[in-house]
Chains A and B, each alone.
Chain A
Amino acid sequence: MLAEVDSREPAFEERENARHEFLIRAMNAATTASSAACLHVRHRARRLRPHRHCASLLASAFAAVASLALAQGSTVDEIAKYRDALAEGNPAELWEARGEALWKQPRGPKQVSFERCDLGLGAGVVHGAYAQLPRYFPDADRVQDLESRLVWCMVTQQGLNAADAVKTPFGDGSARRSELEALTAYVVAQSRGAKMNVPLDTPRIREMYALGEKMFYFRGGTHDFSCATCHSEEGKRIRLQDLPNLSTTAGAQKAYTTWPAYRVSQGELRTFEWRLNDCFRQQRFPELVYGSDTAIALTTYLAHNANGAEVQAPSIKR
């Protein structure tokens, strides 16, 4: 029955087999097996084909699933209410304010402010700029997202050392603060309400998009995970957090346009690069290098898929 044997260690496989066998024997023995028990077996032994005895019980199992979905719906509603309550007075504004001050302040050895930094719409233009990123920048000869562009401006215009510029990409919610998070919050906030518009209009950005798509479906690491493992089906969640289905337009739009966000549980504003970085950690992938092509490719893939949706960030998340 267990045709699909994977590479896990044999001891584990044997244990699992024994458990599956036990569950199935128990189910066969029970002449009036309840639909719940049947469901349980099917869940535990996901690799098995639906058992014969189980099939007759499927109808009632569906009823059980439906009521489960309803119960879940009300939980989701309550969480939505909690999020609405949080959204009023979003501390992300504190980061926006800090970012605005940083944007206008002359910085680095060359004492230049970001008002010379071109985010794609002209030097110093921030309004609506985030909704059109990532894009190909001829001056850098590279496709860049907002964060890598900010770093580029810090290095080439303000004269900062490249290593110093990316020393603190993410803050820790208290003493260790990230200027990049604050700057990102400020720039993104200037695109609130603007529609995402990332066209694949140059060969370089098309290349980045294709690479991002490949990365999204690339399985690897100790857990043989890809982004798509968690993010290409409806209705998946980790604990109480719904996982967006990023393979659909609606899913990509909802997810992409709500980052950066203030994370209440971390007391910190988190950027999209942080989100990718943490997803890589959760997948047990090698650490994602800040501003790397991999990060930009995934960002390009999701940003383009989110085209047409309004930027709602910086938002607030649990």
Chain B
Amino acid sequence: MPDPMKIRATQAGDSTEVRVLMSHEMETGQRKDPQGKTIPAWFIQNVTATYNDKVVMQAQWGTAIAKNPYLAFKFKGGAKGEKVQITWTDNHGEKRTDEATIA
């Protein structure tokens, strides 16, 4: 089971800012271990953010994203006390979903 994300969502004006920290190796597939064997790529491929069952942000990631990625984005609307859900899926098919209440 992957580690939980750390999500912060704050409402300001007519939009909501969401900041997410994810715990992930984000292995590029370019590195070699001390024995000279290539370390296989392992990275988050898809990130989806939903608000009230509606997708507000979708991202397709590659190996250029840093380890333990940080993502910040804004979407129009959003109300305090409501929830934002973030889901990531990596190339191993592993998945993690967390949610945060908009403050």
> Which residue numbers of A lie inside 8 Å of B, CB to CB?
88-91, 93-94, 97-98, 173-174, 264, 267
List B60-74 residues whose CB lies under 8 Å from chain A.
66-68, 70, 72
Cβ contact within 8 Å between B19 and A89: yes
Q: List the A side residues contacting B25 at CB < 8 Å.
A: 174
Q: Is the interface of B mostly helix, strand, loop or mixed?
A: loop
Using A89-B21, A91-B21, A94-B6 as known contacts, say yes or no to A267 and B67 having CB atoms under 8 A apart: yes
A264 to B25, CA, bound (A): 12
Q: Can you name 17 extra interface pairs (CB under 8 A) apart from A91-B23, A91-B67?
A: A88-B70, A88-B72, A89-B19, A89-B21, A89-B70, A91-B70, A93-B6, A94-B21, A94-B23, A94-B68, A97-B4, A97-B6, A98-B3, A174-B25, A264-B66, A267-B67, A267-B68
> B35 to nearest A CB, angstroms?
15
Number of B residues, CB within 8 Å of A? 12
The interface residues of chain A lying within 8 Å CB-to-CB of B72 are: 88-89
Q: Which of B1-30 contact A (CB under 8 A)?
A: 3-4, 6, 19, 21, 23, 25
A contacts with B: majority SS: loop
Contact mask B63-99 → A, CB, 8 Å, 1/0?
0001110101000000000000000000000000000
- Closest approach, in angstroms, between the C-beta of B68 and any C-beta of chain A? 4
Q: How far is the CB of B6 from chain A (nearest CB, A)?
A: 5
C-alpha spacing A267/B26, complex, angstroms: 10
Contacts of B21 in A (CB 8 A): 89-91, 93-94
Measured between alpha carbons, how far is A301 from B25 in the docked complex, in Å?
36
CA distance A108 to B21 in the complex (A): 30
CB-CB under 8 A from A98, the residues of chain B are 3
Chain B residues, CB < 8 A from A173? 67
Q: Please report the C-alpha to C-alpha distance between residue A89 and residue B73 in the assembled complex, in whole angstroms.
A: 12
A86 to chain B, nearest CB (A): 9
A93 vs B66: C-alpha distance when bound (angstroms):
16
A179 → chain B closest CB, angstroms: 13
Note all chain A residues with C-beta closer than 8 A to B68: 91, 94, 267
